Amino acid sequence: MRPWSLPRTNRLRFALHGGQRLSPTEALHILQEGNRRFVNNLKANRDLLQQVNATRNGQYPFAIILSCIDSRTSVELIFDQGLGDVFSARVAGNVINDDILGCMEFACKLAGSRLIVVLGHSHCGAVKGACADVQLEHLTGLLEKIKPAVDHVHSEAPELDGDALVQRVAEHNVRLTVARIMEKSRILKKMLDNGEIGIAGGMYDIESGQVKFYPGAGI
Ligand SMILES: [Zn+2]
């Protein structure tokens, strides 16, 4: 018996999409459209107080997005989503650990989310810290998780430094994180192989507000 009696499908999205369960590709398109509205300074016409009411008995978010804690990268804002639409997991440098993986497994296996997104961003302070080998109590261990991306870029493009190095590391860190999620979670890998979920990496440009998605898996 499952620990939570949550439905496996997204009831709110059922209503919005003619009763059809969203595919991972459709979930990605919703985020792409939302970012397009954000960049064009448009907003979906939603009443947040009404959404409080609509979601009081449960939540059926269609995606889980792992992003950085950076104050400029709030996913509900940059994808123009409302209450109950997406799970938001945030940690500096958008790295994973067992707790984040547990959140993703909960979102996809128990709450019916169809898409995992790992979202990096430009000018990321955590990536800069990892490149500069910053040491600071608990932060040291967090930045260690970004070091494999730093090492990879150093060996692939030793000429890079400054902003160019930081950006390349941020991009590779997203790709490595996507790969690690599939490596480390048997549940998520199986759901991906069965076409139940998709996974995508993306990069948010803090200067333009645009998100660029990388070719993902299962979408
Ligand atoms: Zn950051």
Q: Is residue 185 part of a domain?
A: yes
**If you measure from the C-alpha of residue 122 to the centroid of ligand 1, how many angstroms do you get, rounded to a whole number?**
8
Q: Is residue 219 part of a domain?
A: no
Whether 2 shows a pLDDT value over 80: the answer reads no
| Lookup: tokens for 184 | 């480390």
List, in order, residues 6 or more apart from 121 with CB less than 8 Å away: 67, 68, 70, 72, 73, 170, 203, 204, 205, 206
**If you measure from the C-alpha of residue 54 to the centroid of ligand 1, how many angstroms do you get, rounded to a whole number?**
32
Q: Is residue 52 part of a domain?
A: yes
Q: Is residue 218 part of a domain?
A: no
**If you measure from the C-alpha of residue 131 to the centroid of ligand 1, how many angstroms do you get, rounded to a whole number?**
13
Sheet of 211-213, strands arranged across: 86-90, 63-67, 115-121, 198-204, 211-213
**If you measure from the C-alpha of residue 102 to the centroid of ligand 1, how many angstroms do you get, rounded to a whole number?**
22
**If you measure from the C-alpha of residue 165 to the centroid of ligand 1, how many angstroms do you get, rounded to a whole number?**
14
**If you measure from the C-alpha of residue 71 to the centroid of ligand 1, how many angstroms do you get, rounded to a whole number?**
9
CATH number at residue 49: 3.40.1050.10
Q: Tell me which residue range forms the domain holding 54.
A: 11-213
Place of tokens 């439905």: 7
DSSP 8-state assignment for residue 199? E
Region for 209 from its dihedrals, namely left if φ exceeds 0, alpha if ψ lies in -120 to 50, beta otherwise: left
Please state the domain count of the chain: 1
Q: Is residue 123 part of a domain?
A: yes
Q: Is residue 132 part of a domain?
A: yes
pLDDT tens-digit readout, 67-122: 999 999 999 999 999 999 999 999 999 999 999 999 999 999 999 999 999 999 99
Average pLDDT of the chain, as a whole number:
91
Q: Residue 120 pairs with which residues in a beta bridge? A: 203
Q: Is residue 1 part of a domain?
A: no
pTM here is: 0.89
pLDDT tens-digit readout, 38-55: 999 998 888 888 888 888
Q: Is residue 183 part of a domain?
A: yes
Contact 94, 169 (CB under 8 A): no
